[in-house]
Amino acid sequence: MGREVIVFAEVKNGSLRNVSFEVLNAAKRIHDGGKITAVIFGEQPDSFAELLTSHGADEILVVNNEELTSYTTDAYTQAFISIVEEKKPDVILMPHTASCKDFAPRLASHLSCGLITDCTDVNIENGNIVFTRPIYAGKAFQKREVIDGKIFATIRPNNIPSGLEDSSRTVNKDTMNVNIDNIRTVVKEVVQKATDGVDLSEAKIIVSGGRGVKSTKGFEPIKELAEVLGAAVGASRGACDAEYCDYSLQIGQTGKVVTPDLYIACGISGAIQHLAGMSNSKIIVAINKDPEAPIFDIADFGIVGDLFEVVPMLTEHFRKVINKQAS
């Protein structure tokens, strides 16, 4: 029979988030011949539908209502309730992003089903869908499966590959208008404090600074290296508390949890709270003048030295390599 799977394809700042493709690939692992429907809120460019189809969606469902223009918990929850009532899926998969972390629990409560959050892997084992998620700040992992009722889970970015594109697949696009009322929150204006650049939660490369940067000006070498590598800039809580940078850059137990391919920690000692947010990075490079810094215990590569000497050297080297490859 197969499983009917609904995937929420999240759009941010006019672009499809990369994690949407990763969630689609998770759906392909478990649909077992059933239909995969990718849901988009609001009219979006046809290219979005084509991209989602090429990554595995069998149907694109565009859900329309003026209340969905800006995110609110009430609007997104009500819209998804209408979708679930219409489509009656066996499985609901969403990205583990700020918006979904907010409204997914309310949706699960309304549907009277469980919710498995922050999954880093999903597979079929003995005929059942098994989700893997980290616990104890990433020190251990647990496997969970739903034995009864609707299956609902969120997928952490940068953990499940997005899969190969197949441009030969045909786009099957449908539109659904939903009723949304009793909205208790009205968005008047969205003000973003974060600087323009690579989305921290989805970045493949992150360059982070800690208290060792010593000042706001000390972050300039970090930003320059990040620019050369096409990376996002992150920070430890210590750097944020010292007002060297904005809290939107904070990585750690009380900040963002990231899993990039490459994480470069500059002047970060490696407190357990920070490690909780980045220890699952694929490759970790630590730069610190203290050879006993805890960050070296988890680093794949360590450089003992002054970051204000090491980081500019790395920046210059990478710039030469990149320019040579481009020529």
Query: Beta-carbon neighbour count of residue 244 at 10 Å?
Result: 23
- Is 305 labelled as part of a ligand binding site? no
- Is 109 labelled as part of a ligand binding site? no
Both tokens of 218, joined, read: 């000390």
Q: What is the amino acid identity at position 316?
A: E
- Is 271 labelled as part of a ligand binding site? yes
- Is 55 labelled as part of a ligand binding site? no
CB 236 within 8 A of CB 208: yes
Tokens 């583990």 belong to residue: 96
Both tokens of 177, joined, read: 């208008």
- Is 29 labelled as part of a ligand binding site? no
318 three-state secondary structure: helix
Q: How far apart are CA 263 and CA 278, in angstroms?
A: 8
CB 284 within 8 A of CB 300: yes
- Is 238 labelled as part of a ligand binding site? no
Q: How far apart are CA 85 and CA 278, in angstroms?
A: 38
Range 34-70 burial, b when 16+ CB lie within 10 A, else e: bbbbbbbbeebeeebbbbbbbbbbbbbbbbebebbee
- Is 237 labelled as part of a ligand binding site? yes
- Is 236 labelled as part of a ligand binding site? yes
- Is 268 labelled as part of a ligand binding site? yes
Binding-site residue numbers for FAD are: 211, 236-237, 250-254, 267-274, 288
Binding-site residue numbers are: 211, 236-237, 250-254, 267-274, 288
